[in-house]
Structure 1
């Protein structure tokens, strides 16, 4: 299941977590980018480096789990794929970026979040960041020329149609990325609502209302579909049986493709998205082992895939998609299995109940990513690895409390997940063949 570093006395580095908190706030709230005098500061890199060094030096035990190994496996694959597709040094650069901006953050979050209290701190930072984004977006709706209060942020869209889609700082300068993050925060606000006192409940209801308002302001159809799908999946997980949930999981990509196809009759840009999906699958069929190379999708087609799953499959082929999709599906699968195997909460003590509630919350946040990622090319967005790392940390804590569940977080399930992830690609391909 995991490789453990040389045995040492268990230690929990407060120093490493402190800098992980600073890193999280810098990445999500991005305060240094709010002012012209500090916009060039490299605080994110500094905090990440210090947190990483402190974790390696003081956090024990340190383990690499299946998701770490899957993503590490992408590094040589990206390099080889780059050389085979005539962009070798670009492949090396893409692999370097993956290691620094994806694998290291994933390792930090999965290693340093060793308690529920630490998890709560990071969840609250996520909610605060989301509220900053929504307030800045609201300012963009009323401000001069669509500018918000955050430095140089402004709404985007077709001005002739009256569109004013909100944006934020850094990689949230795209309304779709911003919307994805807002969707992933919905389970967090509901978690604190159910756990809190009267004041907390009122605060979280206000936050939830703000998230809904922000999602509307993004103008992202994929995000709005994500909210509806998230509610549907919540009902399936909590009320329906496993068989119905599995059937829905298989049929969901088909349904999403059909909905997108119906929308194409109204919006020509949607039709172009379907063509991009089909082009990505053709890239996979033509280059099944190494794909067309990371970053080369638009070299083969005029636009990005607008689908993270197809984008990865087209660029990195069968092995690459199996590793990336396997890490994603395995994380969600473990969370789901924990939920359905612990449906009698009265059997567990308070600590286990609290951890199970956190697992459920993080599971639905990951589902929020998986849904919105179906309509966006965000395969290596930092959001994925932050939330995946938090989810893995919850799984690790649960296994310590409930060792009888350790078989869920196993190498066997990880390998199966590398096969399960192909349901998405096959379902989309069948739907496109039937419709095109």
Structure 2
């Protein structure tokens, strides 16, 4: 009986992961939306319910981590904020959305991806979906009225002037969302390229070239800046010391605000973005405790903030932004600390001629990949309001799963994946808002 109980405690629930795989394919590839007869099918909802049910019933152990509690705490806060601001029913609707498109995916991805093999499978789905989006976008460039082969997809922009910004199905019908997804997949392509041999390297190099081609076709300046900045961040992380890296992190929002300010002199949309940022900061200052209510930024200002960080702070106030920003920064910071340990360990290996365990080295390499995918969101999210996009919580869940596996492989890593670091991250996330506010005060 004791042996049987112990076996159950370690179950990984293949069925739960199978349905999570189907959910991932449905969300990213969206095959049901490619045909008129199946466009109304609720396959996405069915798969996540089945994945959740199978995981809860069969997977052991199941744990809630700091990021889970942070996002869960947003649910009552959003409801309470809504009622305080006269939009109670909107708050209830928004809180339900957080449960479905944020907490459930975050919980499932972080708990079900219990091996590198499972992670590879989902990464392959992401890259396959990205290639379909790029090919559909390529077709849109020459097709009549910019139509793609995917049902009902059209390029947007002034087609008569040659502007054809590519789109895809579902929430990828905005070039900015599509571009964000492509940027977040660049590290995946590089990861498989480095692990490949000979002919496979050529394939993965072609995939990487296709991603950059797709980014170009989106016509999104924030996406293009995100792709370029991602390369710069890689060299900074791998070569700069921790202190220099933290200084750069604090200065990065200021640099981004300065860039937007320079664009505003020649671009009306950039000028409107700066005004929206400043309006968001004022909303936060006037409603610091519970914000103006989730979903109310557009009602108050007439435009979205075009900045995920400002948008959350304005709508949910100090507690809400601390929770959302804390979950994001905690996951990214943990990934960075693991990378710094890996660099230090590599130097030790070179000096002492020792060899690290292969499984641990493989997991650290994967963690580095997932870290840079999150950085891709953090950069592109600075220029668009996508604070609760499903993409964020899929990639957050993948990163958390890698952190969990690393701690199991070597308990020394637990110091970076602790409640103490989580609390500090809820404070660190405010450096972004403060930096933007200072830049706006100096530039406007």
Specify if TM > 0.5: yes
The answer for the alignment partner of 1:418 in structure 2 is: 426
Q: Secondary structure at the match of 1:380?
A: coil
The answer for the alignment partner of 1:228 in structure 2 is: 228
Q: Does 1:391 align with 2:399?
A: yes
Kindly state the Cα deviation for residue 44 of structure 1 after the two structures are TM-superposed.
Answer: 0.5
Q: Does 1:122 align with 2:130?
A: no
Q: 1:144-159 residue pairs with structure 2 within 5 A? A: 144-159=144-159
Q: Secondary structure at the match of 2:157?
A: coil
The answer for the alignment partner of 2:438 in structure 1 is: 430
Alignment partners' CA distance in 1, 2:9 and 2:90: 42
Kindly state the Cα deviation for residue 405 of structure 1 after the two structures are TM-superposed.
Answer: 1.2
The answer for the alignment partner of 1:373 in structure 2 is: 381
**Cα displacement string for residues 312-366 of structure 1 (whole angstroms, at most 9, x for unaligned residues):** 0000000000000000000000000000012134441110110000000000000
Q: Which runs of 5+ in 2 are unaligned?
A: 1-5, 350-354
Structure 1 residues 350 and 167: CA distance shift in structure 2, 3 A: same
TM-score when normalising by structure 1: 0.98
**Cα displacement string for residues 237-294 of structure 1 (whole angstroms, at most 9, x for unaligned residues):** 1111111111110000000000001011111111000000000000000000000000
Alignment partners' CA distance in 2, 1:31 and 1:159: 27
Kindly state the Cα deviation for residue 160 of structure 1 after the two structures are TM-superposed.
Answer: 4.8
The answer for the alignment partner of 2:352 in structure 1 is: none
Kindly state the Cα deviation for residue 161 of structure 1 after the two structures are TM-superposed.
Answer: 3.6
Structure 1 range deviating more: 234-243 or 325-334? 234-243
Kindly state the Cα deviation for residue 7 of structure 1 after the two structures are TM-superposed.
Answer: 11
The answer for the alignment partner of 2:131 in structure 1 is: 131
The answer for the alignment partner of 1:102 in structure 2 is: 102
User: Is the Cα contact below 8 Å between 1:157 and 1:164 reproduced in 2?
Assistant: yes
The answer for the alignment partner of 1:311 in structure 2 is: 311
**Cα displacement string for residues 377-436 of structure 1 (whole angstroms, at most 9, x for unaligned residues):** 000000000000000000000000011111110000000000000000000000000011
Q: Secondary structure at the match of 2:415?
A: coil
User: Is the Cα contact below 8 Å between 1:26 and 1:32 reproduced in 2?
Assistant: yes
Kindly state the Cα deviation for residue 9 of structure 1 after the two structures are TM-superposed.
Answer: 1.9
Q: Secondary structure at the match of 1:63?
A: coil
Alignment partners' CA distance in 2, 1:378 and 1:68: 19
Alignment partners' CA distance in 2, 1:342 and 1:173: 39
Alignment partners' CA distance in 2, 1:8 and 1:278: 54
Alignment partners' CA distance in 1, 2:9 and 2:423: 31
Q: 1:42-57 residue pairs with structure 2 within 5 A? A: 42-57=42-57
Q: Secondary structure at the match of 1:398?
A: helix
User: Is the Cα contact below 8 Å between 1:7 and 1:61 reproduced in 2?
Assistant: no
The answer for the alignment partner of 2:213 in structure 1 is: 213
Q: Secondary structure at the match of 1:40?
A: coil
User: Is the Cα contact below 8 Å between 2:145 and 2:159 reproduced in 1?
Assistant: no
Alignment partners' CA distance in 1, 2:336 and 2:329: 10
The answer for the alignment partner of 2:365 in structure 1 is: 357
Q: Which runs of 5+ in 1 are unaligned?
A: 1-5
Structure 1 range deviating more: 193-202 or 282-291? 193-202
Structure 1 range deviating more: 336-345 or 279-288? 336-345
Alignment partners' CA distance in 1, 2:8 and 2:123: 30
User: Is the Cα contact below 8 Å between 1:147 and 1:154 reproduced in 2?
Assistant: yes
RMSD (CA atoms): 1.1
Q: Secondary structure at the match of 2:417?
A: coil
Alignment partners' CA distance in 1, 2:84 and 2:159: 43
Alignment partners' CA distance in 1, 2:382 and 2:35: 34
State the number of aligned residues: 431
User: Is the Cα contact below 8 Å between 1:110 and 1:389 reproduced in 2?
Assistant: yes
Kindly state the Cα deviation for residue 299 of structure 1 after the two structures are TM-superposed.
Answer: 1.3
Q: Secondary structure at the match of 1:101?
A: helix
TM-score when normalising by structure 2: 0.96
Alignment partners' CA distance in 2, 1:390 and 1:233: 20
Q: Does 1:237 align with 2:204?
A: no
Alignment partners' CA distance in 2, 1:402 and 1:306: 41
User: Is the Cα contact below 8 Å between 2:367 and 2:399 reproduced in 1?
Assistant: yes
Alignment partners' CA distance in 2, 1:382 and 1:253: 24
Q: 1:329-340 residue pairs with structure 2 within 5 A? A: 329-340=329-340
The answer for the alignment partner of 1:80 in structure 2 is: 80
Kindly state the Cα deviation for residue 8 of structure 1 after the two structures are TM-superposed.
Answer: 5.8
Q: Secondary structure at the match of 2:305?
A: coil
Kindly state the Cα deviation for residue 158 of structure 1 after the two structures are TM-superposed.
Answer: 2.6
User: Is the Cα contact below 8 Å between 2:146 and 2:159 reproduced in 1?
Assistant: no
Alignment partners' CA distance in 2, 1:141 and 1:159: 9
Alignment partners' CA distance in 1, 2:7 and 2:83: 39
Alignment partners' CA distance in 2, 1:400 and 1:195: 23
